[in-house]
């Protein structure tokens, strides 16, 4: 699936909750996982492929030889977070080749529905915690560059506008 590049109004929208877990939604989550692995990336949110619904996919297993852990979260909610924080250099498939340090809670409790409609709960830390928060932000129209100062954010946005102009020219 084509991934939207910032700036795009669809990346700034608050997405609607999923009300029905249909075959189409399962297909969409599989397509999104494939798109994410192809990119390659560790997380992807539905609005990044132009679908304004509360669905994210992720797999933060990076070590060679470790079993992949494809994870689909429908209507994910952060129910608790630690006071301790973590700093990670973040990037985003909608903001290619741009990275910046973002501070977020180090540990979070999350609840969501899986593709079978079963309620799931888990605690995440490390890269997983950062990635889940980054992806849930996408569902609320928020990008990692929104955590940066205005100068840095504008610089990155201008670079992306230039990239999009170049892509449009082919």
Residue closer to Ni ion by CB (options 21, 138) is 138
Residue closer to Ni ion by CB (options 21, 93) is 93
Tokens coding 133:
């928060």
Q: Where in 92-121 is the site for Ni ion (CB under 5 A)? A: 92
To Ni ion, the closest distance from the beta carbon of 131 in angstroms equals 9
To Ni ion, the closest distance from the beta carbon of 169 in angstroms equals 25
User: Which residue's structure tokens are 């109004």?
Assistant: 9
Q: Is 166 annotated in the active site?
A: no
Residue closer to Ni ion by CB (options 112, 135) is 135
Residues 6+ apart with CB under 8 A from 39: 3, 93
Is 21 among the residues that bind Ni ion (CB under 5 A)?
no
Tokens coding 79:
């129910």
Helix (H) or strand (E) holding 92: strand 85-92
Of 90, 101, 119, 135, which one is the catalytic site residue?
135
Q: Is 153 helix (H, G, I), strand (E, B) or coil?
A: helix
Q: Is 160 helix (H, G, I), strand (E, B) or coil?
A: helix
Residues 6+ apart with CB under 8 A from 160: 5, 6, 7, 95, 98
Quick note: the x/- pattern for Ni ion over 73-92, rule CB under 5 A, is -------------------x
Helix (H) or strand (E) holding 30: helix 23-38
Residue closer to Ni ion by CB (options 21, 94) is 94
To Ni ion, the closest distance from the beta carbon of 61 in angstroms equals 18
Which residues are tagged catalytic? 135
Residues at the site binding Ni ion, with contacts judged by CB under 5 A: 92
């Amino acid at each position: 699936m084509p991934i939207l590049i910032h700036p795009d109004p669809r990346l700034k929208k608050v997405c609607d909750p999923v009300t029905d877990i249909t075959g189409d939604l399962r297909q969409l989550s599989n397509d999104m996982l494939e798109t994410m692995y192809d990119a390659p990336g560790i997380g992807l949110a539905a609005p990044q492929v132009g679908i304004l619904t509360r669905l994210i996919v992720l797999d933060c297993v990076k070590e060679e030889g470790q079993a992949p852990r494809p994870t689909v979260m429908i209507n994910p909610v952060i129910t608790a977070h630690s006071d301790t924080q973590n700093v990670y250099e973040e990037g985003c498939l909608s903001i290619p080749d741009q990275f910046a340090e973002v501070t977020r809670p180090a540990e979070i409790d999350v609840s969501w529905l899986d593709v079978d409609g079963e309620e799931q709960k888990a605690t995440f830390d490390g890269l997983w915690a950062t990635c889940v928060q980054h992806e849930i932000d996408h569902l609320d129209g928020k990008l990692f560059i929104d955590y940066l100062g205005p100068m840095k954010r504008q610089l990155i946005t201008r670079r992306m506008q230039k990239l999009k102009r170049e892509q449009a020219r082919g």
